[in-house]
Structure 1
Amino acid sequence: MKVGVDILDVVALTEDLPGRGLYRGQVGTVVEALEPNVFEVEFSDDEGRAYAFVSLRADQLLVLHYEPIEAGS
C-alpha cells in the first residue's frame, strides 16, 4: 500500500474548516505539492466546477483507495 499523499490523489478532509465552508469527509483532489507535507487541494461539485482551493497539511487528509488492499501491505 502506498504511504503518503501524492499529486492527483483523491482525498477526504479529516477535520472541519468552517471558515472555508468545508467539513470533515468532503472529497477533493490534490493538485499541487507546495512543500513537504503541504498540498493544494481542489474541491469540486458533481459538475466538475471547482468551489474551493485550499492549502492543507498531510495530517488533515485521508487518501482514498479504489482498489483492494492486501492485509499487511
Structure 2
Amino acid sequence: MIQELDLVALLTDRPAIGLRRGDVGTVVHIYGSGDLYEVEFINAKGDTVGVETLNADEVRAVDLGRVILHYKDLENAA
C-alpha cells in the first residue's frame, strides 16, 4: 500500500509539465481512501518540476532494489 512520502513511478505521460511514464515522484498527500495521490516531481537539484493529483491507477510503488536511474534533460523533454 502506498503511503505519504513513498516514491511512485508515473504510468502515464504528462506532457503539459514535461513528465513521462517512468518518472519518479514523492507522494505528498493521500486523498480519501487512497484513490487519489498528490505527487511532487523534482529535478536532481531538488527543485519542484510539478505537482500532480493522480489516480491510483496512474502510479505504482517504486521498489528501489529494482530501479536504475536514467538521465533526462528537462529542457528537451517535450
Same fold (TM over 0.5): yes
Shift of 1:67: 5.0
**Equivalent runs, 1:1-73 vs 2, <5 Å:** 4-36=1-33, 37-66=35-64
Given that residues 5 and 58 in structure 1 are in contact (C-alpha distance below 8 angstroms), is that contact kept between their aligned partners in structure 2?
Answer: no
Give me the TM-score of the superposition, normalised by structure 1: 0.78
- Kindly tell me: are residues 26 and 67 of structure 1, through their superposed partners in 2, closer, same or farther at Cα, counting changes over 3 Å? closer
Higher strand share: 1
Higher helix share: 2
Structure 2 letter corresponding to 1:42: E
Runs of 4+ in structure 1 deviating by more than 2 angstroms, as ranges, are: none
- Gap runs ≥5 in structure 1: 69-73
Give me the TM-score of the superposition, normalised by structure 2: 0.74
Rounded to whole Å, the distance in 1 between the matches of 2:52 and 2:32 is 14
